[in-house]
Amino acid sequence: MAEHPSPNWQETQALDVLREMKQDIPVIFLVYGLKRETTAAFILKGAADCIEMDRISHLPVAVHRALDEKALRNQRDRAEKELRRSEARYRALAGNLSYGICRCSLDGTFLEVNEAMIRMLGYTSREELLALDLARDIIQDPGRRAQLLGQSGADVLIDPVEIEWKRKDHATLKVRLSGREVLSEQGELEAYEVIAEDVTQQRELEDHLRRQAASDSLTGLANYRHLVDVLDLEIKRSNRTSREFAMLFLDLDGLKGINDRYGHMIGSQALCRLADVLCSCCRAIDTPARFGGDEFAVVLPETNARKAHQVARRICETVASDTNGPKLSVSVGIAVYPQDGDTIEKLLREADSALYSMKKHRILPAASRHTAAGQ
C-alpha cells in the first residue's frame, strides 16, 4: 500500500519502481480527496485500487480482490507459458525433418516421437515406435545418462553418446544422441528430450577413408604407414607382456623380369597373387603389408623364431604351388623382437639384411630356394 499524496513518492512512482524490479505486487493507494479521473489514471498505470482515507473500511475487500486478481493472472500466465512450451515442443517434434526427436519418461519409456524418428527407424506408425525401449538402457544408467545430457562434475566437455539402433528391417543404424532435462513448473524433473542424428553414412565414409589411408591401393594390404604403426604397438605390447613377436620381410623374386616379359598388368597381378598368399597363411591377429614396390612384410604377434620360420616356409611353399602363370617365388628375411632389434629401425634393418643374405644364393635351383626361404 502507498499513501497519496506522500512526502516520499511522487504520483505513481511506486508502480514504476516495482515495474523496473519486474515484481508483480499489487499496489493499493490510500488517497485523500483524489479526483475520479486521477483515480482512473492510477488504475490504468497499474494500481490495484485507490481507497479514500475516509472509507478505509473498504480496504480489506480491496486487498482480497487484488490478491484474487493476482492469483488469476499467475494462473493465466502459467497456462500461456505451458501452451507456448507445448506449441514449441510440438513444432520441434513435428516439424524437424533432419533429426529424430523423442520425449522419454524418467525410466526411459518413449512418450512422444516425431515423424523424422519414425522414418529414421523404418516404422510406419508412431504406436509401433512408442512401444520400444530404445533409450531405456541409457536413461537408467547414471553414467551414460550424464553423458547423454552433457553433464560433468569436472566441467569438461563430454562426447555425445553414439550407439547402434536396429531399424524395423533389422538393418543397423549408427545414431548420435544428445538430450536435455524437462522440468515441470515447480522445477521438478518430469521427462527427458532426446535428439537422435543418423550418422551411419558419415561413419561408413570415415571408415572408408581410414582404410584407404592405411591400405595399399593395389593389393589391399596394410601400407608402409600402417605397418610402422603396428610395429610400434607390438613393441609397446611386448614391453608390457615380455612376449616376443616376429616380422617377416619378403621380396617377390624377378618382378622386373615379369614386367619386361609379360607386361606391367601381369606384374601387378603377380603382386596381388602374393598378397592373397600372405592373407591365406596369416592368422587374424597378424598384419600382412606391402612395404613398397616388390617388398612385403608380415608382423606376427606372440611369435618366436621357430614359429616364424614355419610361417615363412608355408608362404614359400604356397607361392611355389600356385598353378597360375607366370611361376612365382619369394625370398624371406626374419627378425624377432627384442633379440634382433629393440626398435623399428633395427628390426627392419635386420630383416632386410636376412632377406638379402638369402638372395645371394640365387645360384640354387628355384625349388631349392623355396625350401631355403623357410629355413
Q: Catalytic positions, please?
A: 294
d(CA 196, CA 162): 9
- Residue among 233, 225, 234, 293 nearest 258 (CA): 293
- Report how far residue 101's alpha carbon sits from residue 330's, in angstroms, rounded to the nearest whole number: 59
The closest of 355, 366, 263, 267 to 319, measured between CA atoms, is 366
Q: Please check whether residue 1 is in contact with residue 28, taking contact to mean a CB–CB distance below 8 angstroms.
A: yes
Contacts 24+ apart (CB under 8 A), 149-155: 149/179, 149/180, 149/181, 149/192, 150/178
Distance (Å, whole) CA 80 – CA 288? 68
- Any idea which residue has 610402422 for its cell? 228
Distance CA 24, CA 74 (A): 9
Q: Are strands 28-31 and 2-4 parallel, antiparallel or unpaired?
A: parallel
What whole-number distance in Å separates Cα of residue 218 and Cα of residue 289? 11
C-alpha cell at 267: 606384374
Pairing of strands 28-31, 49-52: parallel
Cα–Cα distance measured from residue 128 to residue 243, given in angstroms and rounded to the nearest whole number: 54
Q: Summarize the chain as % helix, strand, coil (round to 5).
A: 50, 20, 30
